[in-house]
Amino acid sequence: MTFHDLRALELFAGLDDDQLRQLADAGEEVTFGPGQELFHEAQPADSWWVLLEGALELLRHVGHEESTIGTMQSPGQWAGGFQAWDEHGRYLASGRGQSSGRVLRVPAGRLRELADAWFPFGVHLIRGLVLSVRGIESAARQREALVALGTLAAGLAHEINNPASAATRAVDALEETHAQLLSSLGRLAEHSISATQFMGLDALRREIGPRPPGDDPLALADGEDALSDWLIRHGVERDWLIAPALAAAGGDVGWCERVAALLDAASLEAGLEWVASSLASTGLLQEVKESTRRISDLVATVRSYSQLDRASVQPTDVVEGLESTLAMLAHKLRPGVVVVREYADDVPRLDAMAGELNQVWTNLVDNAVHAMDGSGTLRVSARVEDHAVVVEVGDTGPGMPAEVMSRAFEPFFTTKEVGQGTGLGLDISRRIVVEHHGGLLSVERRSGETVFSVRLPLRPAPPERP
């Protein structure tokens, strides 16, 4: 590379000879051949590349394939060097030789030093523009994330409210049932029931229990009517209270006849009410237990999802993360959405940032549910393939148009209205997968499904923070 090579480029027409010599001294000539890669998409843009001779292809990943998005073939065209103005700057595409040629490579740090010395005001404007764009993007992302967090919190509150309300109702009913239990026990004592009679009554109580959940409701109603008629014939005044509890526990007229044979007429109603109250109390306690268990499971799911009590990089169960994500988004899975799980038995744990991966799963599942608009099949799978864990989220929605699919991972690109979605764009999801975990995120249309695939290497390179 000579001084005249650079002076011939229109790009440097505004530099005097001394400035041009400083630039030449700061850089180096790099030769390349066909197929040779000079810089890679999404890696730190720590060098500025100026084409001197030959041609370079610019490529980006779209789906499972690399697509050519442009060509550098005119001397003076340049790429990269963004870290001269932004410490987080990344290459937007990969540069690969289309033919043999030469480039000038200038480290971004030296380019910044020279530009600061030559054009301090221009550099100030450029850096201000870059930081403003990044600030606007960050504020927009934070706003979207807050809206998404509110939606997620509302869904979680709805999920917790159901078992919490059930537990509250059961406790209120249990208080009343407990009072009835003590009252009936006192009336049994007033009628001087013997110990033998009480033990016999307790034995009869243990013979019946709650019916299975799938029992025929019509048969249950008929049984309740038959018990109510029998109780009225035997002078039991509170048949409306006793009959439902006995019928729900599997009691029938034959069982009541055995109780009547054990107790005298004066103590029959108190004995039956004691049995009914005991059975109702047991059922209500089971309801409280199930409701509180559900609340505990939801809290455990939130803890697993958020990873609040765990290190950033840790052995991560991908399937567990997918399941906790589905639980967190349960409020969005309408009755018309069928969830199909396809988890291989041999999916190993990965050293990964579990919390960040859960954000990726949330984004992909939310996008799939949104695309199906309340009806379709959501398929979530995890398997091992070619030394990597492959996670797929597929939906049977109408699919992406080709122009949308080609731009799916671009910053700021979205097809959703304001306030919809997770606040985590596909470009950020892709950075988490590609830059932080050394993986690959792609999308394709396959057999009536839109499928997003995440490929995570079993032994990834150390995670890299932008």
Can you give the residue ranges of every domain in the chain? 3-118, 156-298, 314-457
The whole-number average pLDDT for the span 186-209 is 89
Amino acid at 144: E
Give domain 3-118's CATH superfamily: Jelly Rolls (2.60.120.10)
- The tokens describing 182, both together, are 């003590």
Question: Each residue of 226-267: pLDDT tens digit?
Answer: 999 999 999 888 888 889 888 888 888 999 999 999 998 889
Angle between helices 354-372 and 426-437 (to 10 degrees): 150
Helices (H), ranges, 307-420? 318-328, 354-372, 402-406
Cα(124)–Cα(121) distance, rounded to whole angstroms? Answer: 5
- What pTM was estimated for this model as a whole? 0.46
pLDDT at 163: 80
Supply the pLDDT for residue 141.
56
Distance separating alpha carbons of residues 221 and 198, to the nearest angstrom = 29
User: Which of 31-40, 126-135, 277-286 is predicted least confidently?
Assistant: 126-135
Q: Are 115 and 122 in contact (CB under 8 A)?
A: yes
Pairing verdict, β 56-62 and 65-72: antiparallel
Amino acid in position 399: G
Give me the mean pLDDT over the 400-404 stretch: 74
Residue closest to 352 by CA, chosen among 453, 442, 455: 455
64: which 2 tokens? 């499972």
CB-count burial class (<10 Å; 0-12, 13-18, 19+) for 199: exposed
Under DSSP, the state recorded for 461 is: P
Backbone angles phi, psi at 122, to 5 degrees: -65, -40
**Domain over 314-457 is classified CATH 3.40.50.300:** no
pLDDT at position 92 over 90: no
Q: What is the DSSP secondary structure assignment for residue 366, as one 8-state letter?
A: H
Extended strands (E) in 124-245:
none
Hey, what are 386's tokens? 């070619």
**Residue 294 token pair:** 């559900």
- Whether residue 465 is predicted with pLDDT greater than 50 in this model: the reply is no
Stated length of the chain: 466
CA gap 464, 43 in Å, rounded:
10
- The more confident residue out of 286 and 49 is 49
Residues 6+ apart with CB under 8 A from 446: 394
Residues 308-332, buried b or exposed e (16+ Cβ, 10 A)?
Answer: eeeeebeebbbbebbbbbbbbbeeb
User: Residue 191 — left, alpha, or beta (φ > 0 → left; ψ -120 to 50 → alpha)?
Assistant: alpha
By CB neighbour count within 10 A (0-12 exposed, 13-18 middle, 19+ buried), where does 121 fall?
exposed
Task: Output phi, psi for 187, to 5 deg.
Answer: -70, -35
State the pLDDT at residue 258: 93
Give the up-direction half-sphere exposure of residue 427: CA atoms within 13 A in the CB hemisphere: 15
Q: Is the pLDDT score of 167 beyond 50?
A: yes
Burial of 377 (0-12, 13-18, 19+ CB in 10 A): middle
